[in-house]
Amino acid sequence: MYMKLNKTILVTGGAGFIGSHVVKRFVTQYPEYHIINLDKLTYCGDLENLKEISHASNYTFIKGDICDNKLLNNVFEEYNPEAIIHLAAESHVDNSIKNPNIFVETNVIGTCNLLNMAIKYNIERFYHVSTDEVYGDLELNEEPFLETTPYDPKSPYSASKAASDHFVRAYGNTYGLNYVISNCSNNYGPNQYPEKLIPKVIDCILNKKPIPVYGDGKNIRDWLYVEDHVKAIDTIFHRGDAGETYNVGGDCEKTNIDLIRVLCNEIDFILDNDNSSTELIKFVNDRKGHDFRYAINSDKLQTQLGWEPETPFMYGIKETINWYIKKFKK
């Protein structure tokens, strides 16, 4: 199918990392759409991410919380959106270990609030953006996650996202909601708050601070450049079949320690550093319940909808480093 709308799309979490890239793409690529960006502006939301399109005639920002039903009602009454792209979420695993309840409130209850609005206001499409962490983790010799891989979340964060995924599917089955879900691997690129691995390491290198590495650094993640992910979101939103799930991966597995060394070497080259930044690496106690490996099989998305990751890893890394150098050196 092809979803072609001429009115209003509500994007939740549009001032965050992935959300800001989604909002910018939809505002610029689809001038016939009115994009409503609903964001609570927590510590990792930043309207600076959207300054290029902040005055666009087809863009509106609303500061608000998806846990606030009264506010949601007001938004739906005033703007009458036809579709929802739902990205608002608490997403940092470390924080979920310290305070799981916040993740339940936003990721589960907040999602259910949006689902209730979608039914009440006859939303034409509900797109739920989720994570590969709902599948659990993998050993070295195991095949990457498929859309049919059973859920096995291992952290409070991934459990909250798994629950929200299930609620979306339940609303599709019970109420006939037109929905799509995507589960993505680790994103990197500009606009990411420096609590996640890549921007945190860049920050440490630029400021000559110790680079903390959990355990032995051999945990493996599949890395996806954020612009490639946004193109996938665009494709799935417009062309994905109702009730389907699509995995989105970068086909780029790296151990944490190898990735950190790449970042050290690239920054040292760019800044012509005399001393190797690898000397800043400091191994620390491993995170509780640290998943060993994530890897995504995106064959379904590639064969059925024609998407594929386009950005070479080193190009994406250099773009990311240069963006953070400009940001952190201000």
Q: What is the rounded distance in angstroms from the CA atom of residue 237 to the CA atom of residue 233?
A: 6
| List 132, 147, 253, 291, catalytic entry | 132
| List 65, 133, 137, 228, catalytic entry | 133
Beta bridge pairs of residue 184? 131, 248
33 given a catalytic annotation: no
157 given a catalytic annotation: yes
Could you give the count of Cα atoms lying within 13 Å of 281 in the half-sphere of its Cβ? 21
Helix, strand or coil, per DSSP, at residue 29: helix
Largest CA distance in the chain: 62
| List 59, 127, 157, 324, catalytic entry | 157
Q: What is the rounded distance in angstroms from the CA atom of residue 293 to the CA atom of residue 48?
A: 33
- Dihedral (CA of 25, 27, 28, 31) sign: positive
User: What is the signed CA dihedral for 277, 283, 286, 291, rounded to 10 degrees?
Assistant: 40
Rounded to 10°, the helix 313-328/197-206 angle is 50
Q: What is the rounded distance in angstroms from the CA atom of residue 228 to the CA atom of residue 316?
A: 10
320 dihedral zone (left: phi>0; alpha: psi -120 to 50; beta):
alpha
133 given a catalytic annotation: yes
Rounded to 10°, the helix 226-239/17-29 angle is 60
DSSP state of 142: S
Q: What is the rounded distance in angstroms from the CA atom of residue 204 to the CA atom of residue 281?
A: 10
Active site residues: 132-133, 157
